[in-house]
A = this chain, B = another copy of it.
């Protein structure tokens, strides 16, 4: 019998486990670098290791989990380089997608986007920063869905998940509320069907996010220990 199942008789499968882990990572309940032991997870969810492994492999393909051979699975820790790459990729994909979205959006779509913002504010007011961040990501994903580009939406989904990890590691700004304004402006331009403006707003929003990261002065956590302790100058001698 499971020692500590999350829910008594709920039939968890690999998909729901992957979704649960993914959500926890999005919401910053699981920090980058956290070990995700197969035995631990199979106890928690009350399923076999096989099922857990399937879920972990799925997440590793989205690069939110890193599987090290014979070492196990860990919540990914994107490097500085990867952080830049992720936002550069988003800057290639999302502005043009926002443009398409503005040209496709129905009244229902706009209502849905607005609802996202409302929920995000509610989460923020409730002090649930993690959930607010998750909803903020969903907002971006929703735009790709409105643009009717499933393939691009899938890619953006992965990039958003990785962005959440990047934010956990490298976020600098204290107030995350600055985003709200950008999202509001985006909704308006989409509601107006102004594709060109939507594209511009999304572009500058992403640049804004990108520049709100500590991507220059902070060597993060996982830089080589040698570098952290001795400094770059010493390294040159030792090699």
Contact = CB atoms under 8 A, between A and B. Distances in A.
Interface in A7-61: 50, 54, 57-58, 61
Contacts of A50: 50
Nearest to A14: B57
A84 B97 CA distance: 14
Interface string A150-175: 11100100010000000000000000
Kindly report how many copies of this chain are found in the complex they form together.
2
Contact of A85 (B62, B81, B93, B152): B152
A155 B154 CA distance: 10
Nearest to A90: B151
A50 to B, nearest CB: 8
Tell me whether chain A's interface is mostly helix, strand or loop, or mixed.
helix
Contacts of A61: 58, 61-62
Contacts of A96: 92
A47 to B, nearest CB: 16
5 contacts: A57-B57, A58-B61, A85-B152, A151-B159, A155-B155
A89 B155 contact: yes
A89 B57 contact: no
Contact of A152 (B54, B92, B150): B92
A99 to B, nearest CB: 11
A85 B54 contact: no
A150 B85 contact: yes
Nearest to A58: B61
Contacts of A54: 57
Given A92-B93, A151-B159, 5 more contacts: A85-B149, A86-B151, A88-B149, A89-B151, A92-B97
Among A62, A86, A149, A155, chain B packs the most CB atoms within 10 A around the CB of A155
